[in-house]
Structure 1
Amino acid sequence: MSIDVTAERVIPVPPERVAAYAMDWRHDAEWTQGIRTAELTGEAPGGGFGTGAEVTRTAYFLGRRIDYVLRVAAYEPPRLLDMVSVAGPLPMHVTYTFDTHPDGTRARIRVRGGGGGLYRLAAPLLARRVRADLGRDLRDLEARLVGHG
């Protein structure tokens, strides 16, 4: 069994501003639940951050330290950042999208993942926890951008 969880929130800020902040790996630990550190450990073929770049994150989830590497599969600011895990405890695919909305930006995060063993058995719990964390991520992202954080 795998998880496929999506959360979204309308943020009263233009998409370009939301994406500029949210797509910058240097801000990951400021608004993403559980992430303690994020580091650009592999640059994109053209240099810097973009398609092909790799970000190593250290996170804590359900009380356990998790180190994983996400490779950027698609980078189309200000609309899309799509990343796939290339190292870590379970396969993971994280997609951020930012679309224009009459009230600002519709920010959406989708996490897909799976695996065997404990992760397979814990999938329902894991999905609920991921959904709650994504909701908090978007709340914290909005707070950072509108000056309440």
Structure 2
Amino acid sequence: MVDVVTAITINRPREQVSEYAAGPENAPEWYVNIKSAEWLTPKPLQIGSKIAFKAHFLGKELSYVYQITEYIPMEILVMKTADGPFPMETTYTWEPVNGSLTRMTLRNQGNPAGFSMLFAPFMSLMMKRANNKDLERIKSILEQPHS
């Protein structure tokens, strides 16, 4: 079982952080490994929405589809792979901290099958490293002064 939890505090209101993070079209900007995101269902984001992602992880090109299973704007977003090489669930949560600060938590859980099971501890470490970079990136994007 892979279960990786990372969190960061971003100096922006919860509404702004959650709106940006929940937008699939923004994923390639702040996720180090995601190269593209394509809506497979009509907008807006809601339970049942499907988004196809292309990513590069551990030297491999990955294509997978996430389906939204829970979404409460400004609180929580849960998505699961509906299709792909590695069954995964990703959860974002957003909590207000002292007015204009937001604590964003990113959690990835999954059960690698077959050969991948041998690499679960390594994958956890690599995912944690990537997730920390992703959260640093979203923080840097959202905290940039607007011109």
Q: Tell me the equivalent position of 1:141.
A: 138
Give the alignment of 1:122-141 within 5 angstroms: 122-141=119-138
**Match of 1:75, as an amino acid?**
Y
Q: Distance in 1 between matches of 2:134 and 2:115?
A: 25
Q: Distance in 1 between matches of 2:50 and 2:77?
A: 13
Q: Is 2:54 aligned against 1:58? A: yes
Q: Distance in 1 between matches of 2:123 and 2:84?
A: 16
Q: Is the 8 A contact 2:47 2:68 kept in 1?
A: yes
Q: Where in structure 1 do 4 or more consecutive aligned residues deviate above 2 Å?
A: none
CA RMSD of aligned residues (A): 1.2
Q: Is 2:82 aligned against 1:86? A: yes
Shift of 1:115: 2.0
Long gaps (5+) in structure 1: none
Q: Tell me the equivalent position of 1:112.
A: 109
SS class of match (1:13): coil
TM-score scaled by structure 2? 0.94
**Which moved further from structure 2: 49-58 or 94-103?**
94-103
TM-score scaled by structure 1? 0.93
Q: Distance in 1 between matches of 2:34 and 2:57?
A: 9
Q: Is the 8 A contact 2:53 2:65 kept in 1?
A: yes
Q: Tell me the equivalent position of 2:26.
A: 27
Q: Is 2:14 aligned against 1:12? A: no
